[in-house]
Amino acid sequence: MRGQFAEFDPRPAMALWLVLVCGCATCFPKRSLEFRTVDAATGKPIEGVYAQRRSDNRMIGIPFFPGTPGAFALQTSARNGTIVAEGLCSDLKHEFLFRKAGYLDAHAQWAEGGVMLLDLPPGDPHHDQRGRIARQTGAVEIDLYPERTAVAVYRPVWTAVTKPAPSIVQVAERAAQKQHPQISNEWHSDPGAVQVFKNQYGDYQVLWLARDKVRGGFQWERVEITPPDDVTGYASGADHAASTPADVRGLR
């Protein structure tokens, strides 16, 4: 007697295949962001500001779930300075450019985790190093500064700190452990391996330098911090040709 088999329905499988190929499942949930462009000096709204959105796929580990990266022009700001960006995919990082004749360009970034980063004032020497976190309620206010505004340049001069606050080293240690726990566990326990530097802006660099017992030379890790606990940079490397710490290339 022949066995009986249920009839196979290919439609669900085909639907799933289409979702994967078309990327239809990659843009959920969608969200909208509202911006309000204002003159930084007067606080008055600015009409006619050009805005552009640039989106990059941040789901690197899942290449068959791409969003739709690229640059897209938004509607110029209305009379009340409002610009709305709609249909933003949750799997993308979104960067925004705001441009108006007579003003310096302004930027915003909707980063991973839904944190909105905005420009620091151009007079702040850190303005091209990092951003500030914006509030998440209501329209995000975008300050546009007149072209005549003085723009500070970040030119740090680093000086060794002999007795740094323990909290600075602890913040750097946590950041280094997060990046390369195996390296950190191997030689961060040596008190002599850590060096701390401070610049004229109040920023810190915490540096670990250790001899490479296998290949010779030195290994290093560097964490940059703006007090109290803002980690603004991380780097690591090795110079196997260096014979002394002073010979190590790439430290700063």
Q: What per-residue string of b and e applies to 104-120 under the rule 16 or more CB within 10 Å gives b?
A: bebebbbeeeeebbbbb
* Candidate ranges 9-13, 36-40, 54-58; pick with highest mean pLDDT: 36-40
Residue spans of the domains in the chain: they are 11-144, 159-247
Q: Is 176 in a helix, a strand, or coil?
A: helix
The secondary structure of residue 24, as a DSSP letter, is G
How does residue 251 score in pLDDT terms, banded at 50, 70 and 90?
low
Quote the pLDDT of residue 29: 58
Alpha carbon 177 to chain centroid, angstroms: 19
For residues 246 and 220, what is the distance between their CA atoms, to the nearest angstrom?
12
- The architecture that CATH gives domain 11-144 is Sandwich (2.60)
**Could you report the per-residue pLDDT of 169-183, keeping only the tens digit for each?**
889 988 888 887 766
Residue 22 pLDDT more than 70? no
Residue 4 confidence (pLDDT): 42
DSSP one-letter string for 62-88: -TTS----EEEEEPPP-TT-EEEEEEE
**Dihedral pair phi/psi, residue 234, rounded to 5°:** -145, 140
- Residue 250: pLDDT band by 50, 70, 90 thresholds? low
Work out the mean pLDDT of the chain and round it to a whole number.
80
Burial class (CB in 10 A: 0-12, 13-18, 19+), 201: middle
Q: What is the pLDDT of residue 51?
A: 96
- State the pTM of this model: 0.67
pLDDT for position 75: 92
Distance, in Å, from the CA atom of 131 to the CA atom of 88, rounded to the nearest integer, reads 21
The predicted pLDDT at position 65 comes to: 46
Omega before 156 within 30 of 0, i.e. cis? no
In the chain, pLDDT over 90 holds for what percent of residues? Answer: 35
The pLDDT value given to residue 131: 82
Q: Per-residue pLDDT tens for 177-220?
A: 888 776 655 666 666 678 899 999 999 999 888 888 888 888 88
* Phi, psi angle pair for 101, to nearest 5°: -55, 135
Task: Tell me the per-residue pLDDT of 223-246, one tens digit each, with 9 for 90 and over.
Answer: 999 888 888 888 888 888 888 777
Kindly tell me if the per-residue pLDDT of 6 is higher than 60: no
Sign of the dihedral defined by the CA atoms of residues 222, 225, 230, 232, in that order: negative
- Taking residue 46's Cβ as centre, other Cβ atoms within 10 Å add up to 22
Confidence at residue 42, expressed as pLDDT on a 0 to 100 scale: 95
Q: What is the pLDDT of residues 118-156, one digit of tens each?
A: 999 999 998 887 888 887 678 899 999 999 999 999 999
Distance, in Å, from the CA atom of 115 to the CA atom of 120, rounded to the nearest integer, reads 15
How much is the average pLDDT of 5-14?
46
Q: What is the pLDDT of residue 60?
A: 44
What Rg value do the Cα atoms of the chain yield, rounded? Answer: 25
Top-confidence residue, 21 or 87:
87
pLDDT over 70 for what percent of the chain? 76
